[in-house]
């Protein structure tokens, strides 16, 4: 029994390290990655690191100028595309524009905040945040899944947040959307696991980007005081987690939430 266990482990290790003769454990060579919201912050870093790992990357922006800047950064005319993740029509137009270039990796990264205490939160503040952060994942997963099912492989990574598990005053809309993404991740992971497709979430803590730039100094200090690592996170901290989840190294990891928060919340 002990002998057969040892040989099973040996086989698994041999398999893991020999995904193919010319493929490194963290290589994304041969993959087509679609990263939403790749103009700046976390999405820009994920797109850049995916490119560095060998993927053919399509990054999206809400404007043509943003799409051109992405294309220039990633070094390919076709690397930047315009997309409004809050619109069914825009997702359809993007998929039509991609033609046969079907993504094998999808990162649902685009997101917004409209922070307000509930009694001051307007219906639009709720709808816009839920539509952009949560309904977008429904739209894009549906649009990309057919190609992944055909290819019998795929990686879906949803950007949730520590706020989706711990909550935060003034972020009821955002917390609901980010918590919803976690349930969605687990449900979809179960639907497609048998087809070679993994679905995981990353829950960043406090990351220094445009999204957090306007936080009042005292709120930032209070948040840093709650981070055992003693510092805020960087987009690169999150991109490392995304490269791992997209890579052959994570082929047996699905339905999980990877917390990238310096120990701020341990679930
Ligand atoms: P960011 O710097 O504000 O960048 C947001 C990105 O989303 C931009 O590329 C923006 O594109 C895009 N975007 C916004 N609305 C869009 C729409 N309707 N359609 C398509 N793209 C849209 O944000 P970030 O801090 O990098 O956050 C990235 C993700 O991580 C978000 O989902 C966020 O909720 C999550 N997160 C962030 C933190 C943090 O501390 N920063 C923590 C936890 C989770 P344009 O430039 O074209 O507007």
Closest CA to 129 of 184, 182, 86, 66: 86
Contact 124, 74 (CB under 8 A): no
User: What's the rounded mean pLDDT across residues 242-249?
Assistant: 98
User: 137 pLDDT exceeds 80?
Assistant: yes
Task: Work out which ligand 1 atom sits closest to the CA atom of 108.
Answer: 32
Encode pLDDT of 84-123 as tens digits: 999 999 999 999 999 889 999 999 999 999 999 999 999 9
252: annotated active-site residue: no
User: What's the rounded mean pLDDT across residues 242-252?
Assistant: 98
Largest CA distance in the chain: 65
- pLDDT, the chain, mean: 93
Contact 199, 192 (CB under 8 A): yes
CA of 39 to the centre of ligand 1 (A): 9
Task: Work out which ligand 1 atom sits closest to the CA atom of 38.
Answer: 9
Catalytic residue among 138, 174, 206, 252: 174
The predicted pLDDT at position 20 comes to 52
Q: Number of helices (H) and strands (E), helices first, in the chain?
A: 11, 7
Only one residue has tokens 């839920």, namely: 130
Encode pLDDT of 178-235 as tens digits: 999 999 999 999 999 999 999 999 999 999 999 999 888 998 999 999 999 999 999 9
User: 146 pLDDT exceeds 70?
Assistant: yes
The predicted pLDDT at position 240 comes to 98
The predicted pLDDT at position 215 comes to 87
Question: For residue 210, with 0-12 CB atoms within 10 Å meaning exposed, 13-18 middle and 19 or more buried, which class applies?
Answer: exposed
User: 10 pLDDT exceeds 50?
Assistant: no
pLDDT above 90 covers a percentage of the chain that reads 87
Task: Work out which ligand 1 atom sits closest to the CA atom of 37.
Answer: 9
Encode pLDDT of 65-86 as tens digits: 999 999 999 998 899 999 999 9
C-alpha dihedral (116, 120, 121, 122), degrees to nearest 10 = -140
Residue of the CA atom closest to atom 34 of ligand 1: 111
Confidence class for position 4, pLDDT limits 50, 70, 90? very low
User: What's the rounded mean pLDDT across residues 11-20?
Assistant: 45
């Amino acid at each position: 029994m002990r002998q057969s266990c040892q040989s099973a482990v040996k086989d698994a290790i041999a398999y893991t390290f020999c995904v193919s003769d010319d493929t490194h454990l963290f290589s994304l060579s041969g993959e087509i990655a679609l990263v939403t919201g790749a103009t700046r912050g976390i999405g820009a870093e994920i797109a850049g690191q995916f490119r560095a790992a060998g993927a053919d990357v399509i990054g999206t922006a809400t404007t043509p100028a943003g799409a051109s800047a992405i294309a220039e950064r990633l070094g390919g005319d076709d690397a930047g595309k315009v997309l409004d993740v809050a619109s069914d029509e825009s997702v359809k137009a993007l998929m039509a524009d991609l033609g046969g270039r079907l993504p094998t990796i999808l990162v649902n990264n685009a997101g917004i905040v409209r922070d307000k205490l509930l009694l001051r939160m307007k219906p639009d503040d709720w709808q816009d945040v839920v539509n952009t952060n949560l309904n977008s994942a429904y739209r894009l997963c549906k649009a990309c899944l057919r190609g992944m099912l055909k290819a019998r492989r795929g990686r879906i990574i949803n950007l949730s947040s520590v706020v989706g598990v711990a909550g935060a005053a003034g972020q009821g809309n955002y917390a609901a959307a980010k918590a919803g993404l976690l349930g969605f991740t687990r449900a979809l992971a179960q639907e497609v696991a048998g087809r070679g497709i993994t679905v995981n979430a990353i829950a960043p803590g406090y990351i220094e980007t445009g999204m957090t730039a306007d936080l009042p100094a005292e709120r930032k200090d209070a948040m840093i005081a709650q981070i055992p690592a003693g510092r805020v996170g960087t987009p690169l901290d999150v991109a490392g987690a995304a490269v791992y989840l997209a890579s052959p190294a994570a082929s047996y990891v699905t339905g999980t939430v990877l917390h990238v928060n310096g120990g701020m919340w341990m679930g």
